[in-house]
Amino acid sequence: METMLASLVPASGTAAAAAAAGGLVAAAALVAGGGRLVGQKDRLNAPPAVPGLPIIGNLHQLKERKPHQTFARWAQVYGPIYTIRTGASSVAVLNSTEVAKEAMVAKFSSISTRKLSNALSVLTCDKKIVATSDYGDFHKMVKRYVMVSMLGASSQKQFRGIRDMVIDNMLSTFHTLVTDDPKAALNFREVFKNELFRLSLIQALGEDMSSVYVEEFGKSISKEEIYQTTVVDLMMCALAVDWRDFFPYLRWIPNRNFETKVSTTEARRTAVIRALINQQKKRIARGEARVSYLDFLVAQNTLTDEQVTTLVWEAVIEAADTTLVTTEWAMYELCKNQEKQERLFEEIQEVCGDETVTEDDLPRLPYLNAVFHETLRRHPPVSLVPPRFVHENTTLAGYDIPAGTELIINLYGCNMNKNDWDEPEEWKPERFLDGRFEQADMFKTMAFGAGRRACAGATQATNIACTAIARFVQDFAWRLKEGDEDKDDTIQLTTNRLYPLHVYLTPRGRK
Ligand code: HEM
């Protein structure tokens, strides 16, 4: 049994495989457990159930580590809503835009809590971050804090200079690499990741720290090690499976390997974030205020040190990845579809001429906007929305859904649904143009979730990804490294590219 469950742990990934908020919470989609046992026969009007085995339910069918794809396949047989069993838990899986929206928006009041795995409970200090907290007073307060100080439309204006600076840095690194060795394929992810992490540190803490002394480690650690301990290790650990998640009635049996791994990762993360915070608190005590999430949280004086530490960590990890995942997929598709890359370049030329594209130009670049949303549709970074928990009896798509059911919203399945999308497997930005969709329909992909738990960082992600894509295409013609055309495999529960993007860049000769 343990071997089979262990096989649900995603394959080990690279640094950039670490997913941010979405990945973090998506990780819980499979490993959350503990729902009340509800037999199908108890219900008069239950959704179809995918046949499974006694005791383990459907766990053995989820071994190939791409649950979003398995769920989408099952939707072709059982329809857009069906149930599965993961050990003792009853899980409803949703695979169409209509039923997903019904769950996230119309029936939110019955489905507003989260269900966390044992690993995520420890790593988020028992739901002490915005993304995993239950909807309630704490959630409302901290979501307001993060919007007002960092992610809301007006607070984003304060960080405009930082966003411009990191994108400038990416461009100048690309130019240097191409000048140094014009024939070499360059590693896109490495360049983007470093600059995005710089931004996440500045926003969260007020400074891009290149090293920090960590008392518990008895030494200073480098920025690469800070990234490893606060982002990569956490994402890998968040995906760790504790078999007791599926069989909560066996919680009394120790699982020492799992417990040691999770508590060590949590302790190291906390030591590093605390060290970063302490360094900044000295700055704040000297009266050197900066625009940062930490400065804001400290000034509120409403949170404990533990809460501040966990929230600052959340801001660091969330900013550091999903924007990278989306931009990397967009550049991959633009490399593969050269005529679409040219169309985008022409649009930029028409609108901006020789001027460098800026965020202010984004509303006037409809094809760019379509490229971004089509990338989110075809490769939703958070393919499984963080699991919701039905806390009072409700209905979905006309079926009875009893309290105690867990909900998995499969955005990949929704966006691959032939009833919702024409040729869904094709990457076609044009589907969003020519009056076929209103601006609001762009969000039909639901890549940022929907309703009151929708992504807090959507504005930031859109600004960074769209400006970066436009500037990359404005400055260079992009081509894939030979042999990489079909390397579109993914790792983990998010749609991280398994193979980091390697590209040839040809400068377009802009000054
Ligand atoms: C392309 C990039 C991104 C995608 C696709 C994405 C996607 C998502 C999704 C699907 C959710 C869950 C929504 C739900 O449960 O209904 C979420 C939640 C969240 N995201 Fe993002 N995200 C992205 C970038 C970011 C960034 C850059 C940040 C912050 C710097 C961020 C912060 C958050 C937070 C705080 C939540 C929790 C919101 C809540 O529970 O109320 N996200 N995101």
| Tally of CB atoms within 10 A around 505 | 19
pLDDT at 358: 98
| Separation CA 350–CA 367 (nearest Å) | 12
> Whose CA is closest to atom 34 on ligand 1?
456
Q: How far is the CA of 448 from the centre of ligand 1 (A)?
A: 6
Best mutation site among 455, 462, 463 for ligand 1 pocket (most ligand atoms within 8 Å of CB) = 455
Q: How far is the CA of 28 from the centre of ligand 1 (A)?
A: 15
> Whose CA is closest to atom 30 on ligand 1?
319
Is 381 within 8 Å of 326 (Cβ atoms)?
yes
| Separation CA 262–CA 240 (nearest Å) | 8
Pocket lining for ligand 1, CB < 6 angstroms: 20-22, 104, 130-131, 143, 146, 151, 318-319, 322-323, 326, 381-382, 385-386, 447-449, 453-457, 460-461
Q: What is the rounded end-to-end Cα distance, in angstroms, of the chain?
A: 62
The total number of residues written for the chain in this structure: 511
| Residue 21 CA, distance from chain mean position | 5
pLDDT at 115: 85
Q: How far is the CA of 55 from the centre of ligand 1 (A)?
A: 34
Q: How far is the CA of 143 from the centre of ligand 1 (A)?
A: 11
Amino acid identity at 74: W
Ligand 1 atom having least distance to the Cα of 322: 2
Kindly list the structural domains of the chain, giving each domain's residue range(s) and its CATH number in brackets, ordered by start.
2-507 (1.10.630.10)
> Whose CA is closest to atom 24 on ligand 1?
457
Ligand 1 atom having least distance to the Cα of 460: 27
Q: How far is the CA of 45 from the centre of ligand 1 (A)?
A: 33
pLDDT at 483: 78
Annotated binding site for heme: 455
283: tokens are 């700055």
pLDDT at 510: 75
| Tally of CB atoms within 10 A around 215 | 10
Q: How far is the CA of 318 from the centre of ligand 1 (A)?
A: 8
pLDDT in single tens digits along all 511 residues of the chain: 333 333 333 322 222 222 333 333 333 333 333 333 344 445 579 999 999 999 999 999 987 778 899 999 999 999 999 999 999 999 999 999 999 999 999 999 999 888 888 998 999 988 889 999 999 999 999 999 999 999 999 999 999 999 999 999 999 999 999 999 999 999 999 999 999 999 999 999 999 999 999 999 999 999 999 999 999 899 888 878 888 888 888 889 999 999 999 999 999 999 999 999 999 999 999 999 999 999 999 999 999 999 999 999 999 999 998 999 999 999 999 999 999 999 999 999 999 999 999 999 999 999 999 999 999 999 999 999 988 999 999 999 999 999 999 999 999 999 999 998 999 999 999 999 877 766 666 678 999 999 999 999 999 999 999 999 999 999 999 999 987 777 766 655 455 666 779 999 999 987 6
pLDDT at 246: 87
Q: Is 448 in a helix, a strand, or coil?
A: coil
| Separation CA 227–CA 16 (nearest Å) | 10
Q: How far is the CA of 269 from the centre of ligand 1 (A)?
A: 21
The C-alpha torsion from 366 through 367 and 373 to 377, rounded to 10°, is 140
Best mutation site among 120, 146, 202, 448 for ligand 1 pocket (most ligand atoms within 8 Å of CB) = 448
